[in-house]
Amino acid sequence: MNVLSLSKGAVLSQPVYEPGKPIEDVARELGLDPATIIKLASNENPFGPSPRAVEAARKALTQAELYPDGGCVVLRQKLAKHLALPPEQVVVGNGSNELLELVGHVFLGLGDEVVMGNPSFIVYKLVTLLFGATPVEVPLVKHRHDLGLLLEAVTPRTKMVFLPSPNNPTGTANTQEEIFAFVRSLPEHVVFVYDEAYSEFLDNPPDLRPLIKEGRHVICLRTFSKIYGLAALRVGYGYCSAEMAGLLNRVRQPFNVNAIGQAAAIAALDDEAFAAKCAQDNRAGLKQLEAGFTKLGLEWVPSVANFILVKVGDGGRIFAELQKRGIIVRPMRAYGMPEWLRITVGTSSQNERLLAELAKVK
């Protein structure tokens, strides 16, 4: 019997996530020196992690023979203090991607509908399909989530709504007023997953803690992969009611978050100045890219995140041309936007190099 035929129904039809290309792969394929390649494809922090986080990780590595703290006690305490919530309302994951999968484990099954924007983070759709639920995709309006349209898509079968703000890949955000009105209009049988992967880049990020406090079924997800520059170590966290955190803790692996990541995350939270500087430099980088695109006569979508969409015509061709020149960006065909590229904001010299190469190939 063919092993494929033994797999469960959803697996064979499951689409595969296409990540940004690693620098080493591109270097090997194109015969380039890895040191000359820049990656502006996965919204990583071009300034790296805080030196204090690196030092803490190095120290933790010397005790790599020990299992990590399965309850992430110290990190959760630190996050709880940061959020002014009890630690019971904080849950830590192997990146926020794991938390997205855990909400699927807890809540989603056959026949459930899950409402999400399109284009938005592809993982929402993958998680929905993985658990046999049905994605209900609502087109964005002017590259932004229209929460009125999302609400119209909610039916008696809706189990969950995903909303990232700022949205990936468009970089657009919704206001606190819009989100509060939306969540307060949701029926009780809907869980609202609010993905704050890029919220630290906002001046005044919406604060959904009052919604959690008044008993709405809300979970907010954050990550150490973006502004904290720790994507390799896979640490994300969620905050929600203690009841919901308890459900997620039931379905996770006992040692889901590694010790090096926990130590680095704790230290990263102690270096607020580093994160603040990264947010500030990101704003300057966005302005630099916007001005550069405008000068090249290219349309772009105003972004409040650490990446920006730019319309280049044949996105696949420009992606390949830039890659040959040692710059990895993200083509948007998988998101249904073949004329666009998503470009992560780099350091000012990386942005300058990107703009110079783009001018040559566009």
Ligand X SMILES: *Cc1c(COP(=O)(O)O)cnc(C)c1O
98 or 112: CB nearest ligand X = 98
Decide: is 96 part of the binding site for ligand X (CB under 6 A): yes
Distance in Å, CB of 232 to ligand X, minimum = 9
Question: Quick one: CA torsion of 7, 13, 14, 16, rounded to 10 degrees?
Answer: 110
Q: What distance in Å separates the CA atoms of residue 329 and residue 333, rounded to the nearest whole number? A: 12
Binding region for ligand X (CB under 6 A) out of 128-136, 170-178, 222-230, 285-293: 222-230
Is 174 an interacting residue with respect to ligand X (CB under 6 A)? no
- Residue (83 or 361) nearer to ligand X, CB: 83
Burial class (CB in 10 A: 0-12, 13-18, 19+), 135: middle
Write out the binding residues for ligand X, residues 98-137 only, by CB under 6 A.
Answer: 121
Choices 93-101, 136-144, 181-189, 311-319 (CB under 6 A): range interacting with ligand X: 93-101
Closer Cβ to ligand X, 230 or 327, answer by number: 230
Q: Please report, as a single letter, which amino acid is at residue 10.
A: A
Q: How far is CA 83 from CA 79, 94, 218, in A?
A: 6, 20, 15
Structure tokens at 100: 């997205």
Among 20, 21, 41, 43, binds ligand X (CB under 6 A): 43
Assigned token pair, 334 = 């998988």
CA–CA distance, 207 with 31 (Å, rounded to integer): 47
Structure tokens at 270: 């102690």
Stretch that binds ligand X, among 26-34, 129-137, 220-228, 349-357 (CB under 6 A): 220-228
∠ CA 174-175-177, rounded to 5°: 130
Please tell me whether residue 44 binds ligand X under the rule CB under 6 A.
no
Among 229, 236, 261, 326, binds ligand X (CB under 6 A): 236
Which residues from 258-277 bind ligand X, rule CB under 6 A?
A: none
Q: How far is CA 329 from CA 19, 37, 319, in A?
A: 11, 11, 6
Considering the complex, what minimum distance in angstroms separates the CB of residue 219 from ligand X?
13
Please identify, among the stretches 1-9, 19-27, 95-103, 130-138, the one whose residues bind ligand X according to the rule CB under 6 A.
95-103
User: DSSP 3-state assignment of 251?
Assistant: helix
Pairwise CA distance, residues 202 & 225, whole Å: 16
Say if CB 315 and CB 332 are below 8 A apart.
yes
Gyration radius of the chain over CA positions? 20
Closest approach of ligand X to the CB of residue 31, in Å: 30
Pairwise CA distance, residues 124 & 127, whole Å? 5
Q: What share of the chain is helix, strand, coil (3-state, %, to 5)?
A: 45, 15, 40
The number of residues that bind ligand X (CB under 6 A) is 14
**Closest to ligand X by CB, 106 or 325:** 106
**Smaller CB separation from ligand X, 225 or 351:** 225
Is residue 91 within the footprint of ligand X (CB under 6 A)? no
Q: Which stretch binds ligand X (CB under 6 A): 90-98, 181-189, 210-218, 316-324?
A: 90-98
The one segment of 144-152, 153-161, 208-216, 221-229 that binds ligand X by CB under 6 A: 221-229
| Contact predicate 172/166, CB 8 Å | yes
Residue that the structure tokens 């936007």 belong to: 337
According to CB under 6 A, which one of 85, 197, 227, 332 is a site residue for ligand X? 197
Residue 292 in contact with ligand X, rule: CB under 6 A:
no
Verify binding: residue 223, ligand X, rule CB under 6 A.
yes
256 lines the binding site for ligand X (CB under 6 A): no
> Which residues would be at the binding site for ligand X (CB under 6 A)?
43, 95-97, 121, 164, 168, 195, 197, 223, 225-226, 231, 236
